[in-house]
Structure 1
Amino acid sequence: MTVTERDRDVLARTLWGEARGEGLAGQIAVAWTIRNRVNDGKANSWWGEGFAGVCLKAWQFSCWSQNDPNYAYLSGAKPIPAGQFAQAQKAADQVIAGTVPDPTGGATHYYATTMPKAPVWVPGAKQTLKLGHHVFFKNVP
């Protein structure tokens, strides 16, 4: 798989938008859910193609919604704090390179426990990890 600079940048921005409060381990876990979608083994995957395609797929990562408060930062309209973005880039680089193992056990989904209620797909999915404020799942119906 070819990974472009755009893939790396979009992945790092997604990690900042979705998990900046979770530390490096939490960002790595979120990055692995994205990588697991990228590597689903299907031609023309429903998830999108490559890291940027998966991250930017409509309705998948709320931080990319234009009415999300994170969007101004992700789009470049506001600057992401340099130290925070450097950590997100580090997580992105490690997961892209495969230098850190997948702590999620193959998860393709997660949700933040700070949400008012769990997503509708949770009852039929297999939980693989709870880390910080995120719960990770695979085999989502």
Structure 2
Amino acid sequence: MPPDSLLTSPVQVLARTAWGEARGEGREGMQAVMNVIARRAATPCWWGRDIITVCLKPWQFSCWNKNDPNHIKILTVTDNDKQFRDSLELSGQLTAGFLPDLTNRSDHYFNIHSAPPAWAAGNTPECILGNHAFYRLGPYGQEKNNA
């Protein structure tokens, strides 16, 4: 079990989530995942109300699923890992309000090499960055948010 401080620090939870979801996509991919998390935190609803609750919402970010191979990795990675150091730096920038949004306010994404989730049907991605397609569906996943 990780120290409680890892799961109560927005910077740590955000960095671990982005690293677990997109470390193979480099800084840009991790930044894009953080942008989705920030968008969700800025529009509270079923997916959470802040960075921590958004990241830890069950079944939203697969790296936090107990049966996911990345789960133990995100709990044990240290800043000895270059990609995790990058993720920590980006996380600090986002929580300080200085990380640009690469996703055009997207609040959903998926890996384009996996089967598209049901919510993607009939929706057009805002952008594709690396192996992820990013969508802006609004707080209830039904239509675009004009906010």
Q: TM-score, normalised by structure 2?
A: 0.82
Is residue 27 of structure 1 aligned with residue 30 of structure 2? yes
Q: List aligned pairs for 1:61-80, cutoff 5 A.
A: 61-76=61-76
The sequence identity of aligned pairs, in percent, is 39
Is residue 18 of structure 1 aligned with residue 17 of structure 2? no
Q: Report the Cα offset of residue 47 of structure 1.
A: 1.4
Give every structure 1 segment of 4 or more consecutive aligned residues whose post-TM-superposition deviation is greater than 4 Å: 78-81
Give the match for residue 100 of structure 2. 101
Secondary structure of the residue aligned to 1:110 is strand
Structure 1 residues 127 and 68, CA, compared in 2 at 3 Å: closer, same or farther?
same
Give the match for residue 116 of structure 2. 118
Is residue 130 of structure 1 aligned with residue 128 of structure 2? yes
Q: TM-score, normalised by structure 1?
A: 0.85
Q: Which runs of 5+ in 1 are unaligned?
A: none
Q: Which amino acid aligns with 1:108?
A: D
Structure 1 residues 52 and 36, CA, compared in 2 at 3 Å: closer, same or farther?
same
Q: Report the Cα offset of residue 99 of structure 1.
A: 1.7
Answer whether contact 1:107 1:138 (CA < 8 A) is retained: yes
Q: Which amino acid aligns with 1:12?
A: A
CA distance, structure 1, for counterparts of residue 126 and residue 15 of structure 2: 23
Q: Report the Cα offset of residue 123 of structure 1.
A: 1.9
Structure 1 residues 80 and 105, CA, compared in 2 at 3 Å: closer, same or farther?
same
**C-alpha RMSD of matched pairs (Å):** 1.9
Answer whether contact 1:108 1:137 (CA < 8 A) is retained: yes
Give the match for residue 83 of structure 1. 82
